[in-house]
Chain A
């Protein structure tokens, strides 16, 4: 037990101390969190009227961010599958970072749901045993459950691997492998359940398409790794963590295939909508072309498509995928493309026009921007703290004094 105490103390020391760049980064994030708290305080006091959501558009920016981040969290599997199942060497060392990202993303997901709730004081109503989750029919009840299980699994694996590394021991395969194997279907599960949350609503034809869950997964396999690829390069420079070029290029190649699939599914959806041109086309038209003077989303729609197409080409061609400038540009483009597609591009056209034909052009309010920024800053802080502890353990610098064996934490 003394080891655990020292581990915690040492971790806190690592998190709270650092060079000027680290301190500036953490300071900036803390400022963001404080701004978010101010925004949330205002919203908590006034009610959700502080947002620009209304009865016509009842879910918007918060839930869009939530959906995008579920994808980021789920995408950790893209790295877990080859690394653990096939014992694939170059990629294995970076898997733990993917899991850390998943943890941070889930924290942000849960916070985005929390800030979207009208009665956050009643959050426990959805907790099994204490509250009354409405199973099996409510997808949101399932979503809350699977997201928390996914968070718990990733936390268990990460803490176990890191603590073993700290003690200078190899992690317990019989503990880690089953959990990692479980986390693969769970990752698919969290994103599928989130897709079904929208998918199951017959009142919203834009969401009520069976292609939605596959599209969710395809786009998640682009956006999650895009965040990771940039982080790998930053960490490699900043901490000296050894991540091989081949690993990064391999991930980029996988992303190209995922993006192709994503674009293909989008094309299939667009063909069906435009060729059959039923009354359901209205929502797709609102997103891509606008309806009358209501064109709030049109620039985002085309920018998102252009970004996704450009990124696909950059990642498909080996030369551009292996060049750092074009690789990072591709990551940014993918991130931007999917962020729009899975965020406002999914939520808002689903609700515009509303079920009685009314068009309400939604744009986020200042409070929504503040709160969303706060949530992202919390997520980055969590990720920073986790990486701050994990990297020295992986490189063998952060070690229990009594540990003698060479570390093999990764």
Chain B
């Protein structure tokens, strides 16, 4: 069944639970409504022994099938749960993509010094698991200058306190938010998809943890929660997005979302902000005056593994 991306009318207001308009009628998918009917039927039968709410929770719902009210209720429940657990007022936003926005990212390979500040700013911003497993959404590869971009000479485990090391250059890799994402294609349950503003997102409550998407991703951008993520309360970032940096459960896949909780509210991704050498550029590809468009206008950009036809919205370039 071909799935439609949610069409969203509401603009991204920063209200506590700005759930998007997603009534079943607009989607008009007969299969979807049949499924919903079947679920309520199963729910009705099972309600004899369990409460209806519990059944609904057990069966679960795909993000894209939830109504505005249902999503609002789920978000309220999650906010309460995480606020209690971490002892901080948590806000889980659900800002929709904005019309006329298609995000693009530029990375200047001639500037990057491999300091990995982006890696750790990302971890902090996006509430990744700190240890066992330690999860990084950005991987910085150290490569030999004499070989150019060549993965057989790439090393992700160099010591970052002495960078840049002579004879080497650095290539950070994260989710490329492909225009033809191989990862969303293979997902057996449609738990990951590309939003209209270019961001490839994951519904952590729908992912079954089969890791097909990780096999399909040519950029090694997806991470799996092999164990219950460890997120110390004092390091937790309470400013969240439902499809972004909210705490993830064990056994699901996660990845870079261009900091969806930031960029849909007009802010830069954390990695762009932290970069000490200005190697990272970000903006709206549809806006001719944006920084990313300036880069494309004045520099020569290229994409990684272009032969795979993924058409990333993440560009590399050499500014000098």
Contacts and interface: CB of A to CB of B under 8 A. Distances in A.
Interface of A: 46-49, 53-56, 58-59, 113, 116-119, 122-126, 129-141, 144, 197, 200-204, 279, 282, 350-351, 353-358
Interface in B241-255: 249-253
Contacts of A132: 1, 3, 32, 35, 62, 65, 189-190, 206
Contact of A204 (B209, B215, B309): B215
Given A49-B133, A118-B252, A201 B223 contact: no
Given A47-B225, A132-B65, A125 B189 contact: yes
A203 B215 CA distance: 7
A133 to B, nearest CB: 6
B187 A58 contact: no
Nearest to B213: A58
Between B1, B32, B139, B252, the greatest number of chain A beta carbons within 10 A of the residue's beta carbon is seen for B1
B277 interface: no
B185 A137 contact: yes
Contacts of B219: 355-356
Contacts of A129: 34-35, 38
Contacts of B249: 119
21 contacts: A49-B132, A58-B224, A116-B211, A118-B209, A118-B210, A118-B211, A118-B250, A119-B207, A119-B208, A130-B35, A130-B38, A131-B35, A132-B1, A134-B187, A134-B188, A138-B188, A201-B215, A201-B216, A203-B182, A356-B139, A356-B141
A138 B186 contact: yes
Contact of A117 (B34, B42, B209, B215): B209
Interface stretch (B6-14, B100-108, B149-157): B149-157
A47 B228 contact: yes
B186 A140 contact: yes
B59 interface: yes
B227 interface: yes
Contacts, number: 169
Nearest to A279: B152
A350 B39 CA distance: 39
Sorted nearest first, the 4 A-B pairs with minimum C-beta distance are: A118-B209, A118-B251, A357-B151, A203-B218
B169 to A, nearest CB: 15
Contact of B226 (A49, A131, A203): A49
B58 to A, nearest CB: 9
Nearest to A200: B186
B188 A126 contact: yes
B173 interface: yes
A358 B3 contact: no
Contact of A356 (B59, B151, B208): B151
A118 B182 contact: no
Contacts of A354: 220
Nearest to A131: B189
Interface in B59-98: 59-60, 62, 65
B212 interface: yes
A131 B133 CA distance: 30
Nearest to A355: B220
Contacts of B185: 137-138
Contacts of A119: 207-209, 249, 251-252
Given A119-B252, A132-B65, A59 B211 contact: yes
B152 A357 contact: yes
A7 to B, nearest CB: 30
Q: Is the interface of A mostly helix, strand, loop or mixed?
A: loop
A47 B132 CA distance: 11
A140 B215 CA distance: 12
Contacts of A54: 133, 226
Interface string B139-170: 10100000000011110100000000000000
A49 B227 contact: yes
Contact of A355 (B189, B207, B218): B218
A118 B225 contact: yes
B217 interface: yes
Contacts of A353: 151-152
Contact of A139 (B59, B186, B191): B186
B220 A55 contact: yes
B308 interface: yes
B1 A135 contact: yes
B201 interface: no
Contacts of B32: 132
B206 A122 contact: yes
Contacts of A282: 152
A132 B62 CA distance: 8
Contacts of A357: 141, 151-154
Between B139, B217, B218, the greatest number of chain A beta carbons within 10 A of the residue's beta carbon is seen for B218
B245 to A, nearest CB: 19
A55 B227 CA distance: 12
A47 B227 contact: yes
Contacts of A58: 211, 214-215, 224
Between B35, B186, B188, B189, the greatest number of chain A beta carbons within 10 A of the residue's beta carbon is seen for B188
Between A119, A123, A140, the greatest number of chain B beta carbons within 10 A of the residue's beta carbon is seen for A119
A48 B224 contact: yes
A131 B141 CA distance: 39
Given A132-B3, A355-B218, 9 more contacts: A47-B225, A47-B228, A126-B208, A132-B206, A133-B190, A138-B187, A144-B188, A351-B215, A356-B139
A118 B210 CA distance: 6
Contacts of B206: 122, 125, 132
A116 B186 contact: no
A140 B188 contact: yes
A54 B134 CA distance: 11
Nearest to A198: B215
Contacts of B173: 356
B217 A203 contact: yes
Contact of B156 (A122, A134, A358): A358
Nearest to A143: B188
Contacts of A130: 35, 38-39, 42, 59
Contacts of A203: 182, 215-218, 308
A343 B251 CA distance: 23
Contact of B186 (A53, A201, A358): A201
B182 A125 contact: no
